[in-house]
Amino acid sequence: MSVIYEKIYNVERDDYANAGLVSSLIKQSLRTIGISPAVSRRVAVAVYEAEINMIIHAYGGTITLQISDDGMIRLIAKDKGPGIPDIEKALTPGFSTASKKAMELGFGAGMGLPNIKRNADEFSIESSPAGTTLDLKFQERE
Amino acid sequence: MKVTEMIEKTGFKTVYLGEDREVAGVYCGDLLSWVMGKGQPEQAWITVQSHLNVIAVAVLREFSCIVLAEQAEFPEEVIERAKNEGLTLLYSDLPVYETAVRLYEAGV
Ligand SMILES: Nc1ncnc2c1ncn2[C@@H]1O[C@H](COP(=O)(O)OP(=O)(O)OP(=O)(O)O)[C@@H](O)[C@H]1O
Ligand SMILES: [Mg+2]
């Protein structure tokens, strides 16, 4: 298995206005190269939530899209900190540390990471004060 | 039912008329990740959130349109983004519940 396509997208801290942009670009690319609507949609939802988290909770970062010759889609969302102190807590549906400002905009349901986990076929998360990395894999489901 | 027929029957004000999509059901919600997790394609989405991110959510969930309730208003930049996406934006001056009832009575 080897990577046949790779693209890296930047996500800026506090850039609410462009939140969702990377997600829609990735969805378009996937549809263009013939990935099914079902998989494209799952990937797009995961990217969206990862992107928003990087904007509202982290200092920005990058999202890397890789496609392998066997059709596997991999997403690596890597931010520049401050990290997640308790990952298990963060993954609990409903848990959120969103600011008042973010809450007023409709963020902070504590459903982002659970949404990512549910949409990805493989999910791993690592975090330290230097940054959080989500590593996600997606494949066509039967 | 199509979006245009829905507009006619409900009397909601058109902010921007995009693609005349099929409307199948309604979703109400203002917590974006919640909507992202539960919304279904072709639903009309009733919300009171009017900032740019609602466009991203509506496009990803493939909603047929957004109905902004409670006399909230879309900023110009949001309307521009909706135009790029062909996504219909509507105003209802009613609260969320009455807005949903109006859609129900229209047969959505
Ligand atoms: N990239 C990140 N960097 C730092 N903290 C994060 C990051 N992503 C998530 N978190 C932490 O994990 C919590 C849960 O994240 P999750 O996306 O599930 O919910 P939320 O962002 O708070 O709300 P929602 O996604 O529903 O709008 C966040 O409130 C935050 O404390
Ligand atoms: Mg989140």
Nearest CA in chain A to B85: A24
Q: Do B53 and A19 touch (CB under 8 A)?
A: yes
Give residue for tokens 């102190």: A85
What residues are in contact with ligand 1 under a 6 Å CB criterion?
A: A 49, 53-54, 57-58, 79, 84, 90, 95-98, 107-114, 132; B 32-33
Residue-number span of the structural domain to which B92 is assigned: 3-105
3-class secondary structure, B57:
helix
Distance CA A38, CA A35 (A): 8
Question: Could you say which of B49, B55, B62 has the minimum Cβ distance to residue A106?
Answer: B49
- The answer on pLDDT for A142 being more than 80 is no
Which string of DSSP letters, residue by residue, matches A70-136? Answer: TS-EEEEEEE-S---S-HHHHHSTT-----HHHHHTT--SS-HHHHHHHH-SEEEEEEETTEEEEEE
Q: Which pairing describes strands B65-68 and B88-91: parallel, antiparallel, or unpaired?
A: parallel
Q: Do A24 and B56 touch (CB under 8 A)?
A: yes
Question: Could you say which of B31, B33, B55 has the minimum Cβ distance to residue A49?
Answer: B33
Residue ranges of domains in chain A, CATH in brackets: 3-139 (3.30.565.10)
Q: Where do the DSSP E strands lie in B17-105?
A: 26-28, 44-47, 65-68, 88-91
**Interface predicted TM-score (ipTM):** 0.84
> Mean pLDDT over all residues of chain B?
96
| pLDDT 10s digits, A18-60 | 888 899 899 999 999 999 999 999 999 999 999 999 999 999 9
pLDDT of residue A48: 96
- The residue-averaged pLDDT of B33-45 equals 96
The angle subtended at Cα B93 by Cα B89 and Cα B46, nearest 5°, is 50
- The answer on pLDDT for A12 being more than 80 is yes
- Give the residue, A15 or B106, on which the prediction is more confident: B106
Total Cβ atoms within 10 A of residue B100: 20
Q: What does the radius of gyration of chain A's CA atoms come to, in whole angstroms? A: 15
Total Cβ atoms within 10 A of residue B14: 14
Q: In ligand 1, which atom is closest to the CA atom of A102?
A: 27
Strand partners, A122: A137
Instruction: Tell me the ligand closest to A132's alpha carbon.
Output: 1
- Predicted TM-score (pTM) of the model is 0.92
How many independent structural domains does chain B possess? 1
Nearest-Cα distance to chain B for A34, in Å, is: 18
Q: CATH number for the domain including B59?
A: 3.40.1390.20
Grade residue A15 by pLDDT with cuts at 50, 70 and 90: confident
CA distances from B11 to B6, B47, B67, B78, B105 (A): 8, 17, 12, 22, 12
Contact by Cβ (8 Å): A63, A50: yes
Give residue for tokens 């208003």: B73
Nearest to A139 by CA among A27, A31, A36: A36
Contact by Cβ (8 Å): A29, A37: no
